[in-house]
């Protein structure tokens, strides 16, 4: 069977996903199983909404799920093919989800971004709880045991959307953001060269996570300054399921004024720092920027002193 559809838009993908959620429990499980705490739960869809709008903006999809204990979990899904994020779009998702909690509309929520793997390579967000890639969805439809014409057609639409993403995504540079990053890089490499911050390229206004690459750093370990959020993190990738073990090993060793918490699938050792404003020059915030970079350096030196413990986490 041949299909010939020249353009696939995000809203059309929304509809085929909504239909699949309703029709296929295993498709829903693909999303639920992303979260370790819910892998053993049996959720049923109570309500599904597409393009739901309130005072905080719009959700592409919202799934209200009920498990056997009558707990309600809401999945708020943002679907991106090639369009840019709007200003504070994911922060509004977070506020919307928190309002559901406060109004007792749910017991928990998760914010999920559905996008191609190469989408948003310069966008990191504390609001996103999980990413589901278009490539994962295509693979799911490809492996669907039914594999009927409906599944074949949906796979085709996703492939067309993926093709559009490859040629349609263009990073929209924000000149202030680019200059901020470049001056931050100059400051870091002048005063804290050990942190080995790579020279940044063009940046959009949403780019606010700085990754450092000091020596003797395991591949699962990252040092990140999330300057728009006021956090410096030592991140241990893919350890959320072992967060209890990490806390047990490190709670009595972590530097003062830091704490250990989950962040998506990772665990972070986090210290709060002053927020940097990307719309202002580094020169006007240099004292604060230096303090933040010093925190990164101190966290790295502490890591080196406890490297043997981190080796246990990265080898699991």
Tens-binned pLDDT, residue by residue, of the chain (316 aa): 677 777 788 889 999 999 999 999 999 999 999 998 898 889 999 999 999 888 888 899 999 999 989 999 999 999 988 777 776 788 889 999 999 999 999 999 999 999 888 776 545 567 888 889 999 999 998 876 566 788 888 888 888 888 877 665 556 678 999 999 999 999 999 999 999 999 998 888 878 999 999 998 887 899 999 999 999 999 998 888 888 888 998 989 998 899 999 887 789 999 999 999 999 999 999 999 999 999 999 999 999 999 888 887 776 5
If you compute the radius of gyration of the chain from its CA atoms, what whole number of angstroms results?
21
- Residue 182 pLDDT: 96
Indicate the pTM of the whole model. Answer: 0.62
Q: Which domains does the chain have, with CATH numbers?
A: 10-168 (3.40.1350), 175-314 (3.30.1460)
Q: Bridge-partner residues for 297, per DSSP? A: none
> Are residues 115 and 134 in contact, defined by beta-carbon separation less than 8 angstroms?
yes
Closest CA to 278 of 180, 173, 183: 180
Three-class SS of residue 197? coil
- Residue 3 pLDDT: 77
Please list, residue by residue across 38-74, b when 16 or more beta carbons sit within 10 angstroms of its beta carbon and e when fewer do.
beebebeeeebebeeeeebbebbbbbbbbbeeeebbb
> Are residues 217 and 227 in contact, defined by beta-carbon separation less than 8 angstroms?
no
d(CA 191, CA 189): 6
Burial group, residue 247, by CB count within 10 angstroms (0-12, 13-18, 19+): middle
Closest CA to 316 of 261, 216, 245: 245
Q: Residue 112: CA atoms inside 13 Å, Cβ hemisphere, count?
A: 22
């Amino acid at each position: 069977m041949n299909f010939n559809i020249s353009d696939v838009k995000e809203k059309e993908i929304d509809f085929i996903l909504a239909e699949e959620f309703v029709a296929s429990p295993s498709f829903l499980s693909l999303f639920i199983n992303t979260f370790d705490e819910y892998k053993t739960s049996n959720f049923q869809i109570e309500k599904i909404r597409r393009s739901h709008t309130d005072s905080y903006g719009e959700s592409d999809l919202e799934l209200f799920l009920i498990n056997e204990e009558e707990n309600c979990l809401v999945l708020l899904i943002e679907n991106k093919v090639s369009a840019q994020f709007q200003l504070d779009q994911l922060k509004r998702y977070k506020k919307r989800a928190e309002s559901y909690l406060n109004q007792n509309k749910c017991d928990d929520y998760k914010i999920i971004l559905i996008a191609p793997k190469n989408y948003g390579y310069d966008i990191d967000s504390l609001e996103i709880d999980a990413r589901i890639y278009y490539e994962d969805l295509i693979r799911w439809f490809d492996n669907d045991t039914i594999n009927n014409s409906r599944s074949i057609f949906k796979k085709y639409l996703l492939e067309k959307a993926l093709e559009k993403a490859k040629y349609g995504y263009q990073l929209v540079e924000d000149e202030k953001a680019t200059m901020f990053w470049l001056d931050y890089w100059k400051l870091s490499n002048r005063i804290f060269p050990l942190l080995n911050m790579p020279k940044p390229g063009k940046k959009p206004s949403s780019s606010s996570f700085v990754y450092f690459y000091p020596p003797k750093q395991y591949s699962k370990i990252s040092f990140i300054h999330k300057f728009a959020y006021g956090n410096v993190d030592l991140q241990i990738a893919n350890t959320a399921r072992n967060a209890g073990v990490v806390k047990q090993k490190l709670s009595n060793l972590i530097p003062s004024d830091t704490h250990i918490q989950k962040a998506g699938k990772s665990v972070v050792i986090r210290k709060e720092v002053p927020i940097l404003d990307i719309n202002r020059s580094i020169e006007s915030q240099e004292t604060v920027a230096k303090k933040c970079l010093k925190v990164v350096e101190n966290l790295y030196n502490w890591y080196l002193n406890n490297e043997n413990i981190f080796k246990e986490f990265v080898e699991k």
